[in-house]
Structure 1
Amino acid sequence: MFDPVRREPRALHHKTAPSYNAPMPPRPRSPAASPPKPTSPGERLGLRSDWDYALHLPLHYIDETRITPIADLREARSALVQARVTQSEVAGSSRRQLRVQVADASGTLELRFFHFYPNWSRQYAPGKLLRILGEPRAGLFGMEMVHPACRVAAPDAPLPERLTPVYPAGAGIGQAWLRKAIAAARARLDMREWLPAELLRRLHLPDMAGTLDLLHAPPPGTPLASLEDRSHPAWQRVKFDELLAQQLAQQQARAKRTGLRAWPLVRRAGPDRLETRLLAALPFALTPDQQACAAEIAADLAQDRPMHRLLQGDVGSGKTVVAALAAAQAVDAGFQCALMAPTDILATQHLRKLADWLQPLGVRVAWLSGAQTKRERDAALKLAASGEAQLVVGTHAVIQDKVRFTRLGLAIVDEQHRFGVAQRLSLRAKGMDRGGDEVREPHLLMMSATPIPRTLAMAVFGDLDVSTIAHLPPGRSPVRTRVFAADKRDAVVQRVRELVAAGRQVYWVCPLVEDVAPTVAAMPAQRESGAPARGRTPRRNEMLELRAAEATFAELQAVLGEDAAQVGLLHGRLAAARKAQVMADFAAGRLRLLVATTVIEVGVDVPAATLMVIEHAERFGLSQLHQLRGRVGRGTDAAECLLLFTPPLSAMARERLQALRDSADGFVLAQKDLELRGPGELLGQRQSGLQALRHADLQTDAALLESAREAALWLLRHDPEAARQHLHRWLGGRLDWLAA
């Protein structure tokens, strides 16, 4: 039969299916090949428990329950034929092939093999009766099959009574082994039905035992299309059960956290409260959305259980000021606050804003970054450990082993999806405090400028509380977005030149360009634009991206002539001090044109910038394009975003650019991005929730997800034993992903 990994037929071994003995000649092993890892085939597929095997479901099926007459064969439809060999020969000179002609009462069929053993011509000698499994196609002399699976058969050999499953498999893992292992595992299982009959009836779902019987061995006549597109009721049951297990796990995680303890950050009364003074000092009033989110966070912080809240909002919606109010509440209650951001530029932006707002009110702010000198770093570590620094802002350096806090009450993680689970846990661990015999955790606030579609939020962040800033503050100018092919690049350059001459500010973003010269050895150790940052050796892609940005930088300097000194260059390999200087010069208007890589994607706030040019826009994801566009239109002047692409565009790239041109709503674009890329890629390093989803699709199974969420809450209240058994069946011991 056909192996899903290899296109050639493989031998069949199944207790209800015949064995086809025409395997491909084995490929020679390289003498330098490394020895196989000491794991079973099942473990290589992630199959450990009997339930893992039982829930390893077929990709598709082959119907070996009936023999199809040759005259009834249809092109590209796999079929089983029983026929006698009438002729067999090895033909061809440069590319030899074995040609076997077979016939039944209805017609003739040619079999062709390009890879074969010499003795096959004797095995397929005239007069032999064969059972042949393959996909027919139209040949020069009629219908033919190329490399079908064949076996010599007896005229009265029985046929299987069920369709033959074809399972997902890895290299070196045969279908015969999988079928045998899965059948043995299913025979050992307790197939007791744990879900209430009323629930299954209401959702029109079959029982689990019947579901698995049908999916692993469908009877003839089962509609294969509904099995293979997963719309069959049996597949709906599997997907519902999977989503139910995931929702149960999230609810358990939420319940577990209610047993944890944190220090309540109680708000002081009176006009001298830090939050009140901060609001009075701000040059703007909070929007209703910001006020609502700040109130939700403040109420959580006052509790004696740790807050785990996600604050999401579109680009420029004002999440930072809400975070500043939360930090003020922590400081006012006598605790420290730590804010961690994924990049130096974003962390520096937070530092500048928070310091401008809080330092005049008497709050001591410290900065931690891997790019600091030893003296600067030691001083910051001392301030944090002594408690003198009430607010510590930084990058990943905040979670390093040497960092200590006296009394960390609140941890804030910005662009949380860019951090892994372990990194978020490390920040939480920095604040764990033992009061008597009780461990108390810091409150945790995560922020994201990439809005999460509702179904994704339910599936992945259902264990968190979510606050949403749904509307932008007043005064933000709309950004007109236009799309141009690369042959219009000169016109775009001329537009940039005119704006710079008129005193306007412009971003020009360069992605990785594949046709840049690939050598990196010739890269100078130090450029005129600044020394590269210390640390790890850059990846080749980063160096190519850097070379593309530098080439564009030089080109635009030449074009601008007298204004060349007003062109800046910003990329990830610059030293932190040089990055900060470039951004300060651009923010102050000393630079009019900033050529940059995607380091400016988040956190850069220059209200005077009115034009964003994104080169090779087809190489970016939709959310990333929206983030980059959000760097302009932050003031009152009209702003533009010009997307340059190199044709031809793929269908997905065309949809991305069209969606960005047609909408400025981050929530609409996030939903479109989910449809185009799927949840795994959209979430980046977020590692919880989706790991458990093997069968359900969040884009098509939203209704099942809603039902699973309701069922999870009901089971936990009314039948906790059924909930426990269901979780064990689906997740076993893999519940550690709930930790973050």
Structure 2
Amino acid sequence: MPDATPKTESQKALDKLGLHRDIDLALHLPLRYEDETSITLLRDARDGGSAQIEATVTHCEVTYRPRRQLVVTVDDGTDTCVLRFFNFYPSQQKALAVGKRIRARGEVRGGFMGWTMLHPSFRAAGGDLPTALTPVYPTVAGLPQPVLRKAVLAGLARADLSDSFAPGDLSQMSPGPLWTLREALLFLHHPAPDVSLDTLSDHSHPAWQRLKAEELLAQQLSQLQSRRERATLRAPVLAEVSDGTLHDRLLATLPFALTNAQRRVGTEIAADMAQPIPMHRLLQGDVGAGKTVVAALAAAICMDAGWQCALMAPTEILAEQHFRKLLAWLEPLGITTAWLTGTQKAKERRSMLALIESGEAQLVVGTHAIIQEKVKFKNLALAIIDEQHRFGVAQRLALRGKLQHDAMEPHLLMMTATPIPRTLAMSYYADLDVSTLDELPPGRTPIVTKVINESRRDEIIERIRAQIAQGRQVYWVCPLIEESEALDLTNATQTHADLAEALQGATRADGLPVLIGLLHSRMHVDDKKAVMGAFTAGLMSVLVSTTVIEVGVDVPNASLMVIEHAERFGLSQLHQLRGRVGRGAAASACVLLYSTGDAPRLGEAARERLRAMAETNDGFEIARRDLEIRGPGEFLGARQSGDAMLRFADLATDQALLDWARAEAPMLLDRHPHLAHKHVQRWLGGKSEYLKA
């Protein structure tokens, strides 16, 4: 029978932190440390320094001016200090009664009135001083540090900390003797007071090196196991059998020639699909590199072999862009395409579901509605996921589970316009084959990017007026659609009204008045379609939008992109937005409008992002800089279901350890499979499944 004992508050809090097993507690490392190993005399204290004092309470009262606070004066025999508490309980007041001898620790501030400490930690004096630094752990409400410390210590004592690999295996990584896992963890939970705090905070200490090596090895082992497991699975063999195929006919009817990169990548994908093992390939290419046509050609091979193909996109706008392109290319060749989204009318939806289940719809395009339980494919053999980092693991696994046919899996092609830097691909995508579109189709005009202060807004509006007069179209992107006290940003609605007023009386090249549209995520889907349709058709000159136009929107006549409060956007998002212009023959520009608010200047990270945008149009260089500025989390999206799989290692600085882990993983898996399995379980537990999606 399951244990029906109700959980205590602290057990619930431990669950919230993901601390279920002894090893989870052992690997829950401190955020920082407090030095309680010595007592500082007040006469030796330094202004602004951290100190632990032992003193007697000489005065204790609650005052109400300028606000309610508990004011306690203590004397250690060499000087006095005032302790101030703005938040306090009666029990604390009692513990700080006159005559009590206490130990207090905090930042000491000096002034005309003597020493003060604001909200110091304190306890009754007495007992031996600790011999190690006191750990301060990441925690949640309901789990105070003493309780968490006790739980971590108990987990550390019970956990199996035996080594999966010998310290000698890592000798080339460390100048000194390498620590065992047990030594490393015991030390990091209770470091000696003479240790350099810098080596603990920057993770360069040998104990940290050991943990980072362990973690990277677990990640590489998990992905290697995933790759080997997939090699035992079966998928439909989708091979071109003769001339005159759908693939060849599609190639012949395309209104443009493929780039060399598209041909190379198409060949890689076709070779994968001709195997009886499920393809697991990531297609990466910069904005506008032509991923959709590569996907269409892969779909043609699949449909030619008599199987169905599904393409899933994260937003309805993007899904519809794909649908329109694919329809224009494939419908004349006799292909039936189904369209599936969450906002469809019931009658249309029933009709689409019937087409899919009967197999009459050879190609299905849509949003996450494709993976709902009611959607039954007759014989799905190829699943294409666009902007794959926006989907959760469960959603990707659900799409792979749509082929219920002789225990087979569909081939999986994932696409992204956020190029993956090499170190990230080696680490997080070690279980994937990666294809790269590294050249843009001819005819794409280079985009000039300008970084301009918000104070020059009027100049930008005049630039817009000139572009419209030449028959061009303009995007104006805003980060929010509502006013927020926390983020003092001009909302899209207000910007739309301001632009309409500023451009009143402006005319287009054909003499017609200027129409300005508004697009944001809270609009009804039919209204969104109407606005987008008018802009695409050239009826609307300016589109004020939130980031719903980030990917997929293709209007060749749009030649100017203004991004308001550009300092608030991530680098890859700025690059995606910029890619909406420069799609035609006209010279195109992207203006990054920034505001420093009340601050004298922009923050360092925001400055770095805007500088990178102004200096390069290369998506791979942008991705490399984004990795430097923000770390890997942004690129991985929901691959790890929100949990960063690397808690300790840093891909920017631990390349040597990653190389070691990649070389060590196959040897450990081949020679000691039981150790390899134990190692993955220790570090990843159930999370290893996420790496397979």
Equivalence map 1:191-210=2 (5 Å): 191-204=161-174, 205-210=178-183
2:82 equivalent to 1:111: yes
Q: Secondary structure at the match of 1:654?
A: helix
Cα drift, residue 582 of structure 1: 4.1
- CA distance in structure 2 between the partners assigned to 1:609 and 1:148 by the alignment: 59
| Structure 2 contact 492–518 (Cα < 8 Å) conserved | no
Cα drift, residue 151 of structure 1: 4.8
- Corresponding residue number in structure 1 for 2:191: 218
2:391 equivalent to 1:442: no
2:134 equivalent to 1:164: yes
| Structure 1 contact 511–548 (Cα < 8 Å) conserved | no
2:467 equivalent to 1:499: yes
1:206 partner letter: W
- CA distance in structure 2 between the partners assigned to 1:370 and 1:42 by the alignment: 37
Cα drift, residue 183 of structure 1: 2.0
Cα drift, residue 428 of structure 1: 1.8
Cα drift, residue 584 of structure 1: 4.2
Deviations 1:640-668 (A, max 9, x none): 11222333344333332222112111112
- Corresponding residue number in structure 2 for 1:521: none
Deviations 1:283-328 (A, max 9, x none): 3222222122111111110111111111011100111111111011
Q: TM-score, normalised by structure 2?
A: 0.89
Q: 1:297 aligns with which of 262, 269, 273?
A: 269
- Corresponding residue number in structure 1 for 2:155: 185
2:389 equivalent to 1:417: yes
1:658 partner letter: R
- CA distance in structure 2 between the partners assigned to 1:220 and 1:328 by the alignment: 66
Equivalence map 1:128-139=2 (5 Å): 130-139=102-111
| Structure 1 contact 368–380 (Cα < 8 Å) conserved | yes
Q: 1:431 aligns with which of 403, 415, 426?
A: 403
- CA distance in structure 2 between the partners assigned to 1:568 and 1:501 by the alignment: 17
2:540 partner letter: L
| Structure 1 contact 274–332 (Cα < 8 Å) conserved | yes
Cα drift, residue 84 of structure 1: 5.6
- CA distance in structure 2 between the partners assigned to 1:689 and 1:703 by the alignment: 26
Q: 2:445 aligns with which of 477, 480, 489?
A: 477
- Corresponding residue number in structure 2 for 1:635: 584
- CA distance in structure 2 between the partners assigned to 1:465 and 1:569 by the alignment: 40
| Structure 1 contact 556–564 (Cα < 8 Å) conserved | no
Q: 1:653 aligns with which of 606, 610, 613?
A: 606
2:86 equivalent to 1:140: no
| Structure 1 contact 570–579 (Cα < 8 Å) conserved | yes
- CA distance in structure 1 between the partners assigned to 2:304 and 2:585 by the alignment: 35
Cα drift, residue 116 of structure 1: 7.2
Assess, with a 3 A threshold, how the Cα gap between structure 1 residues 135 and 390 changes in structure 2: closer, same or farther: same
- Corresponding residue number in structure 1 for 2:377: 405
2:551 equivalent to 1:551: no
Structure 1: tracts of 5 or more residues without a match: 1-34, 519-540
- Corresponding residue number in structure 2 for 1:22: none
Assess, with a 3 A threshold, how the Cα gap between structure 1 residues 184 and 405 changes in structure 2: closer, same or farther: closer
- Corresponding residue number in structure 1 for 2:223: 250
1:639 partner letter: S
- CA distance in structure 1 between the partners assigned to 2:334 and 2:92 by the alignment: 90
Equivalence map 1:364-375=2 (5 Å): 364-375=336-347
2:627 equivalent to 1:674: yes
- Corresponding residue number in structure 2 for 1:259: 232
1:677 partner letter: R
1:194 partner letter: S
- Corresponding residue number in structure 1 for 2:303: 331
Q: Secondary structure at the match of 1:235?
A: helix
- CA distance in structure 2 between the partners assigned to 1:585 and 1:476 by the alignment: 23
- Corresponding residue number in structure 1 for 2:3: none
- CA distance in structure 2 between the partners assigned to 1:468 and 1:252 by the alignment: 24
| Structure 1 contact 200–207 (Cα < 8 Å) conserved | no
- CA distance in structure 2 between the partners assigned to 1:103 and 1:504 by the alignment: 77
Deviations 1:534-556 (A, max 9, x none): xxxxxxx9xx9663465356436
- CA distance in structure 1 between the partners assigned to 2:91 and 2:162 by the alignment: 53
Q: TM-score, normalised by structure 1?
A: 0.84
- CA distance in structure 2 between the partners assigned to 1:453 and 1:316 by the alignment: 18
- CA distance in structure 1 between the partners assigned to 2:55 and 2:347 by the alignment: 85
Equivalence map 1:47-86=2 (5 Å): 47-83=19-55
1:417 partner letter: H
Aligned residue pairs, count: 672
- CA distance in structure 2 between the partners assigned to 1:444 and 1:506 by the alignment: 37
| Structure 1 contact 268–332 (Cα < 8 Å) conserved | no
| Structure 2 contact 30–135 (Cα < 8 Å) conserved | yes
- CA distance in structure 2 between the partners assigned to 1:53 and 1:349 by the alignment: 48
- Corresponding residue number in structure 1 for 2:4: none
| Structure 2 contact 371–395 (Cα < 8 Å) conserved | yes
- Corresponding residue number in structure 1 for 2:203: 230
1:466 partner letter: V
| Structure 2 contact 63–70 (Cα < 8 Å) conserved | yes
Assess, with a 3 A threshold, how the Cα gap between structure 1 residues 152 and 260 changes in structure 2: closer, same or farther: closer
Deviates more, 1:587-596 or 1:492-501: 587-596
1:214 partner letter: F
Q: Secondary structure at the match of 2:674?
A: helix
| Structure 1 contact 311–447 (Cα < 8 Å) conserved | yes
2:301 equivalent to 1:355: no
- CA distance in structure 1 between the partners assigned to 2:545 and 2:123 by the alignment: 64
- CA distance in structure 2 between the partners assigned to 1:409 and 1:507 by the alignment: 39
| Structure 1 contact 512–548 (Cα < 8 Å) conserved | no
2:690 equivalent to 1:737: yes
Q: Secondary structure at the match of 2:19?
A: coil
- Corresponding residue number in structure 2 for 1:529: none
What percent identity do the matched residue pairs reach?
Answer: 53
Cα drift, residue 440 of structure 1: 0.8
- Corresponding residue number in structure 2 for 1:468: 436
1:627 partner letter: Q
- CA distance in structure 1 between the partners assigned to 2:199 and 2:533 by the alignment: 60
Q: 2:245 aligns with which of 273, 288, 301?
A: 273
1:367 partner letter: W
1:706 partner letter: D
1:662 partner letter: E
- Corresponding residue number in structure 1 for 2:574: 625
| Structure 1 contact 549–597 (Cα < 8 Å) conserved | no
- Corresponding residue number in structure 2 for 1:16: none
Deviates more, 1:113-122 or 1:480-489: 113-122
Cα drift, residue 685 of structure 1: 3.0
2:464 partner letter: V
